[in-house]
Amino acid sequence: MMEHYDVAKRIKIVELYIKLGSIVATQRAFRREFPCRNAPCRNTILSFVRKFYEDGSVHPSKHVRRRTVRTQETIAAVAAAIARTPKKSMRRLSAENVVSPRSLGRIIHEDLHQWPYKIQQPMTSNGKAETGVVHGKKRKKSWYHAGAATKRTCQGRLLAVGMEGFLVTCNNMERKCAVEALDVLTDYAEKIFGQEGEPALARSPRAGEELDDMEMAVKEEVEKLKGKQPEEGKANEGSATSPRFQIMESGANNVVFIRTHSIDPALLAWEVLKDVAEKRCARGRNVLRLIPVGASCKAYCTDLAQLAERFLEPYFGAPRQSTFQVVFKARNHQLLKRDEVIQTLADIVTTMNSDNKVNLSSPDQTIVVEVIKNVCCLSVVRDYTRLRKYNLQEVAREGAAQSRVANRETTTTTTTTTTTGDGECEKQKNVPGSSQLDDCVLGTAWESATLPRGEIKTGQVEKDGERLKGKCGITSGLDDEVDTNETSQD
């Protein structure tokens, strides 16, 4: 390990080398000047001299690590994000710009020289605030009402009553999840409902697939009921000129709401999940669950009951009968209780048709209730259990596992053969899971280990104590030998 030399020793080493011009003489003079056992080596002396001629100094240089996060591009991106939305929190800025909260704080404080602040109420000459509240005293209720009236709301960008769409869950990657989900929904919507801006096309059945007449009737009745909804539900309905899908805030962490209009969210989600199960591959890594939202209302039990009576009629009304289950999930909400919601919806469904039964293992229809803050989302989906609760990653993983098991089974081939009276080989039916063989093989293994080189024994089958031989197009010297022995015995 190289010894550490202070500035005085470095200067002396350079002076001695320049004066003497020899490495050995410099080492001897250094030992006389600084009584020590070890003198600087040749490389150390030359490095000090080289640094003196290049930099004009012998002070040790500071090693500056190249920045990988606080780059000029990242600083510019953070500055632009703050300029667009000054009230956005540090957590959201960190997630959007893929920067840790500590690095983001350094960028804002040290590079941009910005700090959080609160807007103070301007005071009048008589010591009162402009809102009429005396400074220093407890604020009245009128001050809070005035602030609530002038508060800027994110109306149009937040999940509200009367909206339809999809709830997409993720793990801390909301922005990437929203982009991936938007791409997937746009592609499948163009295949099923046609290009955006054109009138919705009726979905044509695929090759080998027939649509159920009852399902088509259910869709028609749902569209009719949507046209009869009150004006409150139409307040936030998308217009014809608005885009087919809009990314919005749901009001809960790790949940993104994608608003849609003029299409059936349940049908589109089912098509996506079914295609993922067939292809055994999920498009995207951040999208977890894709939950359709067919209708929404205020998060009260009475409003939910009124919505369920008209929304569930096409699915469970007479003469239709099916099994069902109710799935409830609440986020940032404590008013609605799980047991109360399940009992209310079960009573409504059984009232529509007494033949509707509860089935928690494999129901025909699943009523999904998702509550976020003060909005209750309702939808009816099918194959909820088989499609792993509409989780794209789980469906793709399960399909891949099943394909691996099927491939493992097909590698095991087992065939049985019999011989006819003419001595020719005839193949029997293969065991399930085995593949067809092109060549006829007798027995279960080749027994050529004890045979001479170049001679192959095709195998023998024992049946009723008799040894049968089959001719599979391969002749060997052993067969000729057996035939000659039999003739000689006769």
Question: Using an 8 Å Cβ cutoff, are 298 and 338 in contact?
Answer: no
Does any domain span residue 271? yes
Does any domain span residue 430? yes
Q: How far apart are CA 143 and CA 147, in angstroms?
A: 6
pLDDT at 387: 92
Q: Measured between alpha carbons, how far is residue 436 from residues 281, 389, 449, 460 in Å?
A: 30, 39, 26, 20
Neighbours of 296 (CB within 10 A): 26
pLDDT at 252: 93
Torsion sign over Cα 88, 91, 97, 103: positive
Amino acid at 413: T
Instruction: Output the six-digit token pair for 137.
Output: 């005293």
The CATH number assigned to the domain holding 343 equals: 3.30.2300.10
Does any domain span residue 136? no
- Shared domain for 441 and 465, answered yes or no, is yes
SS3 249: strand
Q: How far apart are CA 390 and CA 381, in angstroms?
A: 9
Question: Using an 8 Å Cβ cutoff, are 253 and 372 in contact?
Answer: no
- Shared domain for 249 and 353, answered yes or no, is yes
SS3 413: coil
Question: Using an 8 Å Cβ cutoff, are 105 and 90 in contact?
Answer: yes
Within 8 A by CB and 6+ apart from 333, the residues are 299, 371, 372, 373, 374
Give the domain-ending residue among 341, 372, 401: 401
Side-chain half-sphere CA neighbours of 271 within 13 A? 22
Long-range contacts of 437-440 (CB under 8 A, 24+ apart): 437/413, 439/472, 440/470, 440/472, 440/473
Question: Mean pLDDT, consecutive 10-residue segments, the chain of 490 residues?
Answer: 76 90 90 84 91 85 78 91 88 88 91 76 53 54 64 65 95 92 93 75 42 55 53 46 87 94 92 92 90 95 94 91 95 93 95 93 95 95 93 89 79 48 42 39 35 41 42 40 40
Q: Residue 425: give the domain boundaries.
A: 416-490
Does any domain span residue 145? no
Give the domain-ending residue among 401, 434, 456: 401
pLDDT at 243: 87
The residues facing 249 across adjacent strands are 158, 256
